[in-house]
């Protein structure tokens, strides 16, 4: 019977359901953030009641319910409700106040909470509890938790430290909106970090008082800055020195941009993000070194269980590395997993399983639900899940093959293992990289085959030695050796990135396509038996039947002066104002899968003069006008009018669509689609940033 088969199917895979706990929690969090502003409070009250009711039913019927398909369905619903509640509580508790309007000139007073340094000498200052001064000299509290202010090198006269009370003239803006409908919302990331506004310094910074900060987090951050400055000075300010500092402290701002680009194009960008690789190597090195040291002392080796003591020492070392490196989400995930592995060593248990990944993901999602939207979270867990899933399939075969083999065979096995690990990780990360960054490194396998052994056997052991020698002020002994290893990795990245066809730029897949691919990957990794391949079959079938994503034909910026039209080849051609808004252009180009912006060419129906441009887009005449003088003519001759000034609607009623500065101020950027239908000549659809962004606390809808 069908029901009996379904029941047998679930019973056969019931032991793997625990692996799906973070998946269902993440689904609930995702539904919350896709709701466009969060459901009303009474909805969450109902969900809370349902959650507790489901838990009570599960407890009362635990002997009969959990072996039934409906039991798994109830569990899945409960976990999704739990995820949505966690996200709602996080947003409600955080409640970061935001700057309501732009302030072109204001005097800011506050305490330096964080400093991010860059290669050009500039800095980003995070000012805690900022206060503003009026033109009369009166100071009043802003009500904000923190501001992020960009400071150019010429405005930095004295060395700033965490806890300094500063005064500076600045121009402030509300949190930035996405550059296009459906684009990345940087305001969300700032809001969750406690930042309510951004700005730039307009004059030198004045240090009003050097107040020592007794709080742990600011003192820890200042310690990281001091370590960074000292090591960078020891390294002579070299490029390898900036990478060395990033690997230890997590401060990557001073790495030259060309190095970051080369590493990304060579498929080696993961080396800069302190995650499982770095934490695993650091903790492993501490574990084996401390165990070997205790084994060399008979008094300790005969009286202590040195393996368990070494695990505790390694856990303490991992915690220290977590704090020094800045405790980013990938590092926290790696530390949780390393801690569980070491606890398993102490308890004589096997720990390197997918359950370990599920525990780490569940902890992070319940504490920081917004991390599901983070690229680092997605990439970190995708890679480690795929690697452990593959390893668990071949673990016994590899162990049996390894025993009794010579050094030559073991070396060959290591090389193949590195290549296999790289292939699995690249395949797991490819959908995420393509969706968020629109770029794939074609020669990542080659670059990792060269760089990974150097990273594992050279750079990370030297980094551990650096940590041991730093308190003794003897780090100068190991830094030249460490620098040389890093320079080899940088040179490898530069060489691979310079090869013909090293990278490919692709258009972003649709959100539905992205979700289907992720679900298929999770099904393949988490399910047991032959049923795991069913996910791939279903995913491929759905992807084949889905209609192809239709990219927008016209993009218009928030002021109406920047616009881009998609030509016959699918590439975006920009207006002459593209050079003035490089960040927006870069975002549009990246999403379009285009390497460099092309200037708007005056052919194929494009006609431009001092008043604007009239162009033919899919047989529809579109006017982009910058002066009121050309408005009457454009309204009479074109079907779509885009103006960079306020347009009274009664002056231009003939075109099908008229957009002016008032529309852009209310709705943000626009994306337009022109489609020809059998019933009429054409149909125009559009989306705005306001439509796709939702009504969230970080979206003040002032564009």
CATH number, domain at 145? 2.40.50.140
Domain-embedded: residue 58 = yes
pLDDT tens readout for residues 321-333: 888 888 877 788 7
201 and 343 in a single domain? The answer is no
pLDDT given at position 523 = 86
Q: What phi, psi does 201 have (nearest 5°)?
A: -75, 145
145 and 292 in a single domain? The answer is no
Nearest to 491 by CA among 240, 302, 667, 277: 240
288 and 383 in a single domain? The answer is yes
177 and 239 in a single domain? The answer is no
**Tokens at residue 531, please?**
């049923």
85 and 114 in a single domain? The answer is no
582 and 677 in a single domain? The answer is yes
118 and 147 in a single domain? The answer is yes
Q: Which residue range forms the structural domain that includes residue 538? A: 511-545
Question: Could you say which of 59, 94, 129 is where a domain stops?
Answer: 94
Q: For residues 157 and 162, give the distance between their C-alpha atoms in angstroms, rounded to a whole number.
A: 16
Domain-embedded: residue 702 = no
Domain-embedded: residue 623 = yes
Q: Give a three-class secondary structure readout of 382-448.
A: HHHHHHHHHHHHHHHHHHHHHCCCCHHHHHHHHHHHHHHHHHHHHHHHHHHHHHHHCEEECCHHHHH
pLDDT given at position 69 = 63
232 and 114 in a single domain? The answer is no
Domain-embedded: residue 451 = yes
Domain-embedded: residue 701 = no
Question: Could you say which of 155, 189, 213 is where a domain stops?
Answer: 213
Torsion from C-alpha of 7, 12, 17, 20, nearest 10 degrees:
-90
Domain-embedded: residue 240 = yes
Residues of the chain with pLDDT under 70: 1-15, 41, 44, 54-71, 134-139, 211-214, 350-352, 399, 401-406, 410, 529-530, 543, 545-549, 579, 595-606, 678-680, 701-703
- Whether 551 and 570 have beta carbons less than 8 Å apart is answered as yes
pLDDT given at position 14 = 47
What interhelical angle do 257-265 and 479-497 show, nearest 10? Answer: 60
488 and 517 in a single domain? The answer is no
**Beta bridge mates, 625:** 612, 643
566 and 607 in a single domain? The answer is yes
pLDDT given at position 603 = 46
Tell me the three state secondary structure of residue 284.
helix
**Tokens at residue 186, please?**
């940087």
Question: How many structural domains compose the chain?
Answer: 5
pLDDT given at position 67 = 54
Q: Count Cβ atoms within 10 A of the Cβ of residue 321 and give its class: 0-12 exposed, 13-18 middle, 19 or more buried.
A: buried
397 and 299 in a single domain? The answer is yes
**Beta bridge mates, 616:** 621
349 and 459 in a single domain? The answer is yes
* Global confidence as pTM: 0.85
Domain-embedded: residue 482 = yes
Q: What phi, psi does 409 have (nearest 5°)?
A: -65, -40
**Tokens at residue 252, please?**
């990557």
Domain-embedded: residue 221 = no
User: From residue 255, how far is each of 162, 220, 238, 264 by CA, in Å?
Assistant: 21, 21, 9, 13
pLDDT given at position 401 = 66
User: From residue 136, how far is each of 130, 133, 168, 539 by CA, in Å?
Assistant: 18, 8, 16, 65
Q: What phi, psi does 177 have (nearest 5°)?
A: -90, 160
| Helix spans in 455-573 (H) | 460-469, 479-497, 511-526, 532-545
């Amino acid at each position: 019977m069908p029901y009996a088969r379904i029941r047998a199917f679930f019973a056969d895979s019931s032991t793997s359901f625990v692996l799906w706990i973070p998946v269902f929690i993440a689904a609930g969090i995702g539904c919350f953030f896709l709701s466009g502003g969060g459901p009303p409070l009474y909805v969450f009250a109902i969900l809370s009641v349902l959650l507790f009711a489901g838990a009570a039913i599960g407890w009362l019927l635990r002997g009969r319910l959990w072996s039934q398909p409906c039991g798994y369905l109830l569990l899945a619903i409960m976990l999704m409700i739990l995820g949505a509640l966690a996200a709602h509580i996080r947003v409600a508790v955080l409640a970061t106040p935001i700057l309501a309007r732009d302030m072109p000139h204001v005097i800011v007073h506050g305490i330096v909470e964080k400093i991010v340094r860059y290669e050009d000498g500039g800095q980003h200052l995070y000012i805690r509890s900022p206060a503003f001064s009026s033109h009369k000299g009166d100071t009043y509290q802003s009500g904000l938790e923190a501001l992020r202010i960009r400071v150019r090198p010429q405005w930095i006269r004295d060395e700033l430290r965490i806890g300094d009370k500063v005064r500076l003239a600045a121009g402030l803006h509300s949190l930035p909106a996405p550059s296009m409908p459906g684009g990345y919302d940087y305001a969300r990331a700032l809001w969750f970090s406690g930042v309510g506004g951004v700005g730039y310094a307009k004059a030198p910074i004045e240090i009003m008082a050097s107040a020592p900060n007794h709080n742990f987090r600011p003192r820890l951050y200042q310690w990281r800055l001091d370590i960074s400055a000292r090591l960078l000075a020891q390294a002579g300010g070299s490029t390898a020195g900036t990478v060395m500092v990033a690997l230890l402290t997590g401060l990557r701002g001073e790495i030259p941009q060309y190095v970051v680009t080369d590493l990304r194009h060579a498929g080696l960008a993961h080396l800069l993000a302190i995650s499982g690789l770095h934490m695993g190597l650091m903790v492993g090195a501490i574990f084996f070194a401390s165990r070997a040291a205790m084994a060399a002392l008979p008094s300790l080796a005969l009286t202590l269980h040195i393996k368990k003591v070494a695990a505790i020492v390694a856990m303490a070392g991992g915690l220290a590395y977590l704090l020094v490196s800045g405790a980013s989400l990938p590092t926290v995930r790696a530390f949780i997993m390393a801690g569980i592995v070491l606890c398993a060593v102490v308890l004589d248990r096997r720990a390197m399983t997918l359950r370990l990944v599920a525990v780490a993901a569940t902890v992070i999602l319940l504490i920081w639900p917004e991390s599901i939207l983070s690229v680092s979270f997605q990439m970190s867990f995708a890679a480690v899940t795929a690697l452990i899933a593959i390893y668990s399939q071949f673990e016994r075969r590899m162990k049996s093959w390894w025993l009794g083999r010579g050094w030559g065979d073991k070396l060959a096995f290591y090389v193949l293992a590195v290549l296999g690990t790289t292939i699995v990780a690249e395949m797991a990360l490819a959908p995420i990289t393509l969706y968020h960054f629109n770029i794939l490194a074609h020669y990542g396998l080659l670059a990792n085959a060269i760089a990974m052994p150097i990273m594992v056997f050279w750079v990370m052991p030297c980094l551990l030695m650096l940590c041991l020698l730093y308190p003794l002020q003897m780090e100068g002994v190991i830094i030249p050796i460490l620098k040389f290893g890093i320079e080899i990795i940088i040179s490898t990245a530069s060489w691979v990135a310079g090869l013909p066809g090293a990278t490919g730029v692709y258009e972003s897949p649709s959100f539905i396509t992205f979700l289907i691919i992720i679900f298929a990957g999770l099904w393949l990794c988490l399910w047991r038996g032959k049923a795991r391949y069913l996910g791939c079959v279903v995913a491929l079938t759905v992807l084949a039947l889905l209609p192809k994503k239709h990219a927008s034909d016209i993009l218009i910026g928030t002021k109406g002066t920047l616009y881009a039209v998609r030509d016959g080849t699918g590439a975006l051609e920009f207006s002459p104002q593209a050079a003035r808004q490089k960040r927006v252009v870069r975002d549009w180009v990246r999403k379009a899968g285009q390497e460099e912006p092309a200037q708007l060419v005056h052919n194929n129906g494009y006609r431009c003069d001092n008043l604007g441009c009239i162009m033919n887009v899919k047989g529809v005449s579109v006017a982009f006008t910058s002066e009121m003088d050309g408005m009457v003519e454009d309204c009479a001759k074109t079907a779509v009018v885009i103006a960079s000034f306020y347009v009274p609607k009664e002056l231009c009623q003939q075109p099908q669509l008229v957009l002016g500065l008032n529309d852009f101020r209310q709705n943000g950027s626009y994306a337009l689609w022109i489609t020809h239908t059998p019933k009429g000549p054409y149909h125009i659809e559009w989306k705005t940033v306001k439509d796709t962004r939702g009504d969230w606390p970080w979206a003040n809808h002032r564009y």
